[in-house]
Structure 1
Amino acid sequence: MQPPLLSLFLPLLSYLPGGDSDLREALTLLKTERALRLYRSVAADRNGTNVVVSPTAVSIPLEILQFGARGNTGRQLAEALGYTIHNPTVREFLHAVYATLRNPRQGTKMELACTLAVHTGVPLSPCFVEWVSWWANCSLEPANLSEPNSTTGQAMEWVSRKNAGEDPGGSVQNRGAAASAQLELISAMSFRSAWWQTFPSTDTQLLPFTCAQGHVLQVPMMYQLAEVNYGQFQDPVGHQVGVLELPYLGSAGSLFLVLPCDKNTPLSHVEPHLTASIIHIWTSSLRRARMEVLLPRFRIQNHFNLKNILNSWGITDLFDPLKANLKGISVLGQDGFYVSEATHKAKIEVSEDGTKASAATALLLLKRSRIPIFKVDRPFIFFLRECNTGLVFSIGRVSNPLD
């Protein structure tokens, strides 16, 4: 069952006549709620570990499939996403957003790719091919999908190399003859950007970080004294949290950090109470403050299977060879298409400016005791938002910066 908030969006986004500002606000809230839902689905199986996931990289391939889905399969996709790209207003708005994400910006490397691996020789609908080539950074690639699960690793490598700007070297291949036409759905995301105000590498030092399991580690802690956007808030059950925004160069986006104020409050007590409306209130209520910021360097890369998650969201027909209705993909609307695998890879790296840092003396901190400090020395949640739209590009948590 959908949360009450989200159940309001389907009729809104299906019949909204216009009004870019209303649509933008509705889609931003909806996509933030979906981002949190995806995060919880992934984090539930990774208790106490680092997590990063890109909601955008997950939603784009599902949107692509909407162009070819029919009947109950199409309805399940629309209900899971909360909107349909068959609405011209929604479609044009999202296309403009994705075009913005793809534009290179100063000091920023934002990579987003989606590939549908289609069995070699299957005649595709020209209309569907045109939609795919038009939608975000998507592509169709030939593959031999005769053995389920056999090409996933190769396909992920293909997308990763494409994301890195390399020549992937042809198609995703395997041996054998397919018993039915299948699809593999692969999405990938990576982001790296220079800070609006860099963390001087000479100020980085080893400081204690208390992990989720209670272990205390010495980790490279970055430091800056800066004007930042900051606020302290309560979640619905009364936990105090600090929220800090760190912008990237060229207004490419901002990294938001959510940290329980009480060191005795586990992050797991805050996570279940996060909602799109709460995040909107928090990020809209931040105030400028001059603060000392201490943030550990971290790098996270996750690779996981989306199939079980999407099934739990009600997307079941898509993966069933007897129920999937993807007739809009083939030339003559033929049956036989279903999605055999859905995988996702996400990566984020946070450092001073991409260079190796050196240690410095701890006396650095003792000279500035009168200035408020935001010290991230325990597990925290982060989410990366695109500035112009407010859409969550990635979301995750850091439980151990050294993992």
Structure 2
Amino acid sequence: MRPALFTLFLLHPCLHGGHGDLHEDLTLLKTELALRLYQDAAAPRNGSNIVISPAGVSLPLEILQFGAQGNTGRQLAQALGYTVHDQRVNEFLHAVYATLPSSSRGTKMELACTLYVQAGTPLSPCFVEQVSQWANSSVEPAHLSEPDRTSLQASEWASRKITGDEPGGPVWEHGGGAALAQLALVSTMSFQSTWRQRFSSADTQLLPFTGAQGLVLQVPMMYQMAEVNYGQFQDSAGHPVRVLELPYLGSTVSLLLVLPRDKDTPLSLIEPQLTASILHVWTSSLRRARMDVFLPRFRIQNHFNLKSILNSWGVTDLFDPLKANLKGISGNTSSFKLFGIVLGGRLSAWLEACFSLSHSPCVCSLSHCLALSNK
């Protein structure tokens, strides 16, 4: 059951720097993409918990843009809201991605993608060069006709990229059609940190927690009295909400909590009203306040295929063997079709990880698998 306390989606890239209107436009586009992805992924899951990384989804789609042509390329550009073939966008995103992986004062964040290629599959040298220079991405040979072997290879790669992930994870296994694939894109987003102000184990206690369907449960609640950024607002439908920003160490990343002020207002009425502009207004209007903060200990793990979501965004040619135009990948008349995009994620926020001085920080780990075959 999705908690009625907060909405969480992780992490669209943190866009910093100049470039004036381009910076503002891309920030809004990335935020809108994050919200749309979260809302579309959450809608059919009937209130269940989800963890999702918009950056981990947009990265392989950006890489596909380097090889997509014709209507296939136009559909990808319309879905993302931008194209990497725009020189200004390309240079700006390249500069942003160059800041990742990053680590500062106990916070580590990394975004990466590997393109696995079946031995003997011809690739355009230009495409390979573009992939290798994009967002900590690389091209690796693989035996995609042997799913078990490739699953282990991909999982071992992900485990090196993501703290806490275990080899032999399920992301590849959920892909379907892997035995026929010629190419596979596996992206990961990893984040680990501790809270700027740590929770104390002595203050953790069982307290009532109201879930998305109104069910009240007794759960371990972490507690601290802290100086936080806080505000009270109304969404576009007039629902009163409370917004609290809980920063991680270093204050470069924060957890944004959204809570209906009326306990009888379900979170499902608030989520559809969230937009990039509303979030911008809320976050820029928060004020420092000292208050009691209760946060449940939780762990979220999920997997789902993004094909239906991308179809609803107008990305349909990729999945049609008669229409998919990815000729830029091979550099000749052959092309590829897309089997599917599988997203898997795990998020942990445990007291032991969040208050201790050990090397066991709060961990967010997300993997995405995209498989393509020859027509």
Query: With structure 2 as the length reference, what TM-score do the two structures score?
Result: 0.81
Greater Cα offset, 82-91 or 317-326: 317-326
> Is 1:243 aligned to 2:219, yes or no?
no
Letter of the 2:209 counterpart = F
> Is 1:93 aligned to 2:92, yes or no?
yes
C-alpha distance 286-167 of structure 1, shift in aligned 2 (>3 A): closer
Contact 1:204 1:221 in 2 (8 A): yes
Matches within 5 A, 1:2-401: 20-145=19-144, 157-164=155-162, 182-330=182-330, 332-352=331-351, 354=353
Residue 256 of structure 1 aligns to a residue whose secondary structure is strand
Residue 212 of structure 1 aligns to a residue whose secondary structure is coil
Q: Unpaired segments of 5 or more residues in structure 2? A: 1-16, 357-363, 367-375
Corresponding pairs, count: 335
Q: Matched residues in 1 for 2:58 and 2:162: separation?
A: 21
Greater Cα offset, 96-105 or 232-241: 96-105
Contact 2:104 2:250 in 1 (8 A): yes
Residue 117 of structure 2 aligns to a residue whose secondary structure is strand
Residue 53 of structure 1 aligns to a residue whose secondary structure is coil
Q: Matched residues in 1 for 2:149 and 2:333: separation?
A: 24
Residue 207 of structure 2 aligns to a residue whose secondary structure is strand
**Which residue pairs with 1:398 in the alignment?**
none
Please list the CA deviations of residues 194-247 of structure 1 after superposition, one character each: whole Å capped at 9, or x if unmatched. Answer: 111111222111111122233222111111111110000001111111000011
Q: Matched residues in 1 for 2:179 and 2:225: separation?
A: 62
How far did residue 26 of structure 1 move?
A: 0.6
Contact 2:329 2:335 in 1 (8 A): no
Residue 37 of structure 1 aligns to a residue whose secondary structure is helix
Greater Cα offset, 116-125 or 266-275: 116-125
Contact 1:231 1:244 in 2 (8 A): yes
Q: Matched residues in 2 for 1:126 and 1:28: separation?
A: 32
Please list the CA deviations of residues 296-352 of structure 1 after superposition, one character each: whole Å capped at 9, or x if unmatched. Answer: 12221222212221121111111222211112112x423232222211222222234
Letter of the 1:185 counterpart = L
- Give me the CA root mean square deviation: 3.0
Contact 1:191 1:349 in 2 (8 A): no
Q: Unpaired segments of 5 or more residues in structure 1? A: 1-17, 358-383, 385-392, 395-403
The runs of at least 4 aligned residues of structure 1 exceeding 6 Å deviation read 149-152, 165-169, 178-181
Letter of the 1:164 counterpart = I
Q: Matched residues in 2 for 1:322 and 1:192: separation?
A: 43
Percent of matched pairs sharing the same residue: 66
Letter of the 1:257 counterpart = L
C-alpha distance 112-27 of structure 1, shift in aligned 2 (>3 A): same
How far did residue 164 of structure 1 move?
A: 3.2
**Which residue pairs with 2:8 in the alignment?**
none
Contact 1:114 1:159 in 2 (8 A): no
Residue 321 of structure 2 aligns to a residue whose secondary structure is coil
Q: Matched residues in 2 for 1:212 and 1:337: separation?
A: 42
Q: Matched residues in 2 for 1:141 and 1:311: separation?
A: 29
Q: Matched residues in 2 for 1:70 and 1:181: separation?
A: 20
How far did residue 125 of structure 1 move?
A: 1.6
**Which residue pairs with 1:370 in the alignment?**
none
Query: With structure 1 as the length reference, what TM-score do the two structures score?
Result: 0.75
Question: Considering only CA atoms, is the larger Rg found in Structure 1 or Structure 2?
Answer: 1
Letter of the 1:267 counterpart = L
Contact 2:142 2:150 in 1 (8 A): no
Q: Matched residues in 2 for 1:74 and 1:333: separation?
A: 17
C-alpha distance 302-187 of structure 1, shift in aligned 2 (>3 A): farther
C-alpha distance 225-29 of structure 1, shift in aligned 2 (>3 A): same
